[in-house]
């Protein structure tokens, strides 16, 4: 198998996505396999993370590999002014794979161009989060039994939320209908709406988070308003509490509806939703371990079958 970076969900085909989902299922059945014995993997996180970093590191540990890296760039020489290029060229001398999160859009692509080892993009600014998308697809497939012909409702910060951008593009293979619920300030960017038009994907935009919108959804994909991406904090204050999902709002929803959220949540899902069987966000985060085991093996060219 070829070794290659995973920078964008658009880098992989529908067949590769399906293969990764099958491998994630296999890892869920047996997550402890020593296929990374002798490999060293770096996690370079220039932005904070809980799930992505810890699930990637757990994935490596369960596969018998070793981890180096940093969770806070302030402890690395980038705080002394070292460039991303020099950092990546140095770290790629030491390891077999780099998993990187960066606040700049395009940073992962750039890193993949200067690195001598594959890069997995663990999130670059408001652009892409392909490993999150793989765990989202795995979660959707597990809960719906299919990825085809689903009504996906995305709610909240559709402007800065990289998870919705990656998910929209990945779902384009599977004939979705999208509903975008956002205030004017956080609407789905034009480039993603053009992408939908080019792929004949129907989408509907809403300002109101109504029960009518909730009741036709198969997947309700809630997102956090991304405070760290606002240049004007007054604008953040205006929109931060714009949509809050309460348990009572799910009363008329479809039996197969599942509520997803990439997490962390701030207050966009009330705690009373957590005990509803339709709330799936914690299982979704757990699925990240298996999806990331599959991704690591793919980019390292390790055939687990």
262 lies in the binding site for ligand CP (CB under 6 A): yes
> Cα(232)–Cα(254) distance, rounded to whole angstroms?
38
Q: Could you tell me which residues come within 8 angstroms of residue 81 by beta carbon, excluding any fewer than 6 positions away?
A: none
**Among the options 23, 53, 129, 165, which is catalytic?**
129
Nearer Cβ to ligand CP (196/263): 263
> Cα(139)–Cα(141) distance, rounded to whole angstroms?
5
**SS3 category, 124:** strand
- The H or E element spanning position 206 is strand 203-206
Q: Is 129 a catalytic residue?
A: yes
| Listed ranges 59-67, 191-199, 257-265, 290-298: which one lies at the site for ligand CP (CB under 6 A) | 257-265
Q: Is 207 a catalytic residue?
A: no
**SS3 category, 261:** coil
In the complex, the smallest distance separating the C-beta of residue 304 from ligand CP, rounded to whole angstroms, is: 24
Q: Quote helix, strand, coil % in the chain, to nearest 5.
A: 45, 15, 40
Q: Is 173 a catalytic residue?
A: no
Reduce the secondary structure of 57-121 to three states and give it as a string: HHHHHHCCCEEEEECCHHHCHHHHCCCHHHHHHHHHHHCCEEEEEECCCCHHHHHHHHCCCCEEE
Whole-Å CA distances, 188 to 162, 214, 227 = 11, 18, 17
**Among the options 62, 101, 159, 292, which is catalytic?**
101
> Cα(46)–Cα(72) distance, rounded to whole angstroms?
6
299 lies in the binding site for ligand CP (CB under 6 A): no
156 lies in the binding site for ligand CP (CB under 6 A): no
41 bridge partner residues? 67, 97
| Listed ranges 69-77, 113-121, 172-180, 256-264: which one lies at the site for ligand CP (CB under 6 A) | 256-264
Among 264, 266, 271, 282, binds ligand CP (CB under 6 A): 264
In the complex, the smallest distance separating the C-beta of residue 58 from ligand CP, rounded to whole angstroms, is: 13
**Among the options 23, 39, 43, 52, which is catalytic?**
52
Per-residue contact flags (x/-) with ligand CP for residues 39 to 58, judged by CB under 6 A: ----------xxxx------
Chain residues 114-143 in contact with ligand CP, contact rule CB under 6 A: 123, 132
| Listed ranges 30-38, 56-64, 66-74, 259-267: which one lies at the site for ligand CP (CB under 6 A) | 259-267
Q: Is 51 a catalytic residue?
A: yes
Number of residues that bind ligand CP (CB under 6 A): 9
Which residues contact ligand CP (rule: CB under 6 A)? 49-52, 123, 132, 262-264
Question: Catalytic positions, please?
Answer: 51-52, 80, 101, 129
């Amino acid at each position: 198998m070829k070794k290659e970076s995973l920078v964008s969900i658009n880098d992989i085909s529908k067949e590769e996505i399906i293969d990764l989902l099958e491998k994630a299922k296999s890892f869920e059945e047996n997550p402890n396999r020593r296929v990374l014995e002798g490999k060293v993997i770096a996690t370079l996180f220039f932005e904070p993370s809980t799930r992505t970093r810890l699930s990637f590191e757990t994935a490596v540990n369960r596969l018998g590999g070793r981890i180096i890296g940093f969770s806070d760039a302030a402890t690395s020489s980038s705080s002394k002014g070292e460039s991303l290029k020099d950092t990546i060229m140095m770290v790629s001398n030491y390891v077999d794979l780099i998993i990187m999160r960066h606040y700049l859009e395009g940073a992962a692509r750039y890193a993949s161009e200067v690195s001598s080892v594959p890069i997995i993009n663990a999130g670059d600014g408001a652009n892409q989060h392909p490993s999150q998308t793989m765990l989202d697809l795995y979660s959707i497939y597990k809960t719906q039994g299919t990825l085809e012909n689903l009504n996906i409702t995305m709610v909240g910060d559709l402007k800065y939320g990289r998870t919705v951008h990656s998910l929209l593009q990945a779902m384009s293979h599977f004939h979705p209908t999208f509903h975008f619920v956002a205030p004017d300030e956080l609407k789905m960017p034009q480039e993603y709406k053009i992408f939908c038009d080019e792929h004949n994907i129907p989408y509907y935009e809403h300002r109101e988070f109504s029960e009518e919108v909730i009741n036709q959804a198969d997947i309700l994909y809630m997102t956090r308003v991304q405070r760290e991406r606002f240049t004007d904090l007054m604008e953040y204050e205006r929109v931060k509490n714009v949509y809050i999902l309460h348990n009572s709002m799910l009363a008329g929803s479809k039996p197969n509806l599942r509520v997803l959220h990439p997490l962390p949540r701030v207050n966009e899902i009330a705690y009373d939703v957590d005990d509803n069987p339709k709330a799936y966000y914690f299982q979704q985060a757990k699925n990240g371990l298996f999806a990331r085991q599959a991704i690591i093996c793919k980019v390292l060219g390790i055939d687990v079958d």
